[in-house]
Chains A and B, each alone.
Chain A
Amino acid sequence: MKWMLVAIIAVCNTLGDVLNTAGMKRQDEVEDLRPRTFAHMAAGIFRNPLVLAGFAALTVSFVALLSLLSISSVSFAVPATAISYLLETLLAKYVLGEDVRLRRWAAAGLVASGVVLLSF
């Protein structure tokens, strides 16, 4: 059950971030920090099916996290976070078409291992 929840968290978290990225790339780039720019962005989100699907996936991930925390300690949620970093980088390269080379792979790997060590 625990590992099932870890898998759900990692997959839904990854799916949510990838959908949000794909969706946000279809909207105008946010160019500045003016409130009007953010209001324009927020209005666009509600008409953006990809971002709405991303929110749904992140909600499932959050509920699964709450369930996991209720049956085990926080440290059990760490593998899910670490796996997400690697899975998201993989999808960023092959689904979103980002230019992921050695530096970004190294960055994702270092952060994932750092997150694991921080839980000690």
Chain B
Amino acid sequence: MQATSLKPLKGVKFWDQHARKTQILVLVAVITNVLGNVSLSHGMHQVGPMLAGSLLDYLKEFAKALENPWTILGICILMVWMLSDLALLSRADLSFVLPVTASAYVLVAISGHFLLHDRISWERWTGIALITLGVILAEETPDRTTKRPSERRL
């Protein structure tokens, strides 16, 4: 509780507090999603293409990929992402979480542009704008509209 709760302001309703904590989890999920995928992708590029004729070959290639520190780091960060995503789904609607966490796409495209100097075509800029608009629209809806099990029993 101490880690995330903000001092309750006078007159702030329960739902505002609830939404604030959800936003923090969204932030964690989006950042770990981006960092995990970037790290995994960097590692897999160092390892090289996984070309396998049989399942056994494939497993051998997979084991080799696991020797790369970037791959391991990526997998660890993505495990944190998975947990934070499930934590989000425990408290917020799926139809809220989906569009809001799509901001990861925007973050990947923008960071690729500024860090790796990827060229972004006008189609991609339009895509970034549409996703951003979708994230903002979803952010304006309440994070949870379904009842909790305890409320259902009442």
Interface residues of A in 67-120 (CB under 8 A from B): 85, 88-89, 92-93, 96-101, 103-104, 106-111, 113-120
Which interface residue of A17, A29, A42 has the most chain B CB atoms within 10 A?
A: A29
B146/A96 in contact, CB under 8 A: yes
A32/B145 in contact, CB under 8 A: no
**Among A18, A45, A97, A104, which residue has its beta carbon within 8 angstroms of that of B99?**
A104
A103/B140 in contact, CB under 8 A: yes
Interface residues of A in 5-55 (CB under 8 A from B): 17-18, 20-21, 24-34, 38, 41-42, 45, 51
**Among A26, A33, A115, A120, which residue has its beta carbon within 8 angstroms of that of B102?**
A115
Binds A, one of B7-15, B20-28, B63-71: B20-28
Please give the number of chain B residues whose Cβ is less than 8 angstroms from any Cβ of chain A in the complex. Answer: 48
Docked CA distance A65–B127 (Å): 22
Docked CA distance A117–B106 (Å): 12
A51/B86 in contact, CB under 8 A: yes
A88/B25 in contact, CB under 8 A: no
Docked CA distance A109–B99 (Å): 9
> B3: CB under 8 A from chain A?
yes
- B contact patch SS: helix
Kindly list chain B residues whose C-beta atoms are within 8 Å of the C-beta of A92.
93-95, 98
Q: How large is the interface on A (under 10, 10 to 19, 20 to 34, 35 or more residues)?
A: 35 or more
B130/A111 in contact, CB under 8 A: yes
Docked CA distance A29–B138 (Å): 21
> B48: CB under 8 A from chain A?
no
Can you add 8 more A-B contacts, CB < 8 Å, to A38-B83, A92-B95, A118-B105?
A: A25-B89, A31-B21, A32-B2, A32-B5, A98-B146, A110-B131, A115-B127, A119-B127
Interface residues of A (CB under 8 A from B): 17-18, 20-21, 24-34, 38, 41-42, 45, 51, 85, 88-89, 92-93, 96-101, 103-104, 106-111, 113-120
Interface residues of B (CB under 8 A from A): 1-5, 21, 24-25, 28, 83, 86-91, 93-99, 102, 105, 109, 121, 123-124, 126-135, 137-138, 140-142, 145-146, 148-149
